[in-house]
Amino acid sequence: MKKCARHRSWSLAGAALLCLLSFPFTVKAQIRLFLRDGTYHIVKSYEVQGDRVRYYSVERSAWEEIPLNLVDFEATKRAQQEEQSSHQREREAARQIDRERFEKPEGTGFEIAPGVRLPADEGVFAYDGMRVIRMIQSSGEVVKDKKRAALVLAIPGPLLKSRAYVVLPGPEAAVRVMSTQPAFYVRAADGLGAKLELVAVKPRKESRQVEKVEWRGGIGQPAELRAAVPLERSEIAPGLFKLTPVQALEPGEYALGELIQRKLNLELWDFGIEGSPASATSASEEPPKIRRSNSPPKD
């Protein structure tokens, strides 16, 4: 098992945040439409109509046309094939991670239940009454609310707050926990377990919303609004914290995130609750599932 890495990127802190939010955000393209001069347009789709190529520009959110003889279709097709190959490699890597997760960890760490021990290395782990699951991190992204941005420009003065969202890619997390009453164990030398917050994640069309951020230009600090879930927290051994939700979790998507001066780190341990109750199980029973979507996340 690889050691769980943690990045110290701050989520929405001070001047860096305001600078970031001052630039428009664009949706990642599905297709790069190459031209014969080596440049390309980022498009959602394109079609040939006679001697013209009609495409939907992601950058300008509008349909546009260019002469057919300017488009390099071979380069466009080659780029799409390379992207598909890249996605295939990512899916294979994800499957390998899933296979590794089903391997029984070495029983050399702290015993959390009779015959159940944590791995001896640092990391964030979930225990659902059946097995220990090593959590993995996903990177959150700041996405600006374009509709609110247009209203702010239309209305003079700081009457409306600007708005952005922190989202995770894809409709669901790779890690799936089968119990509504899991316990989380955090082993880290810097006391990470004392700083983690559990957040209920809101599903969106092709992503998951972790929090909403609002600010007024030149006035005060950005406010981060998220659905925090109460936790019971205890240090059960030096550097090892146990986090338990105060109440059973509803089936859905969640994330554990580090709070740094009340700001949420964008590197999150995300997971989904499938909704089965925690229970003891024999060796013959099925272990909890951990799955990753076979389709690459769309933006």
**Where in the chain are the domains?**
14-25+89-276, 36-71
The token pair at 204 is 């969106």
| pTM for this predicted structure | 0.55
DSSP state of 261: T
State what percent of residues in the chain have pLDDT above 70.
70
- As a whole number, the mean pLDDT across the chain is 77
| Whether the Cβ atoms of residue 163 and residue 143 lie closer than 8 Å to each other | no
Q: What is the pLDDT of residue 263?
A: 87
In which band, very low, low, confident or very high, does the pLDDT at 249 lie, cut at 50, 70 and 90? very high
Q: What is the pLDDT of residue 220?
A: 57
What DSSP element (H or E) covers 214?
A: strand 207-216
Q: What is the pLDDT of residue 103?
A: 52
Tell me the average pLDDT across 63-84: 91
Tell me the average pLDDT across 131-135: 92
Number of C-beta neighbours around residue 227 at 10 A: 14
State what percent of residues in the chain have pLDDT above 90.
41
What CA–CA distance (Å, rounded) separates 278 from 228? 22
The token pair at 298 is 């769309």
Q: Which residue has the higher pLDDT, 96 or 152?
A: 96
DSSP state of 35: B
For residue 22, pLDDT over 60 is answered with no
In which band, very low, low, confident or very high, does the pLDDT at 295 lie, cut at 50, 70 and 90? very low
What CA–CA distance (Å, rounded) separates 196 from 233? 10
| Whether the Cβ atoms of residue 216 and residue 155 lie closer than 8 Å to each other | no
Phi, psi of 224 (to 5 degrees): -105, 120
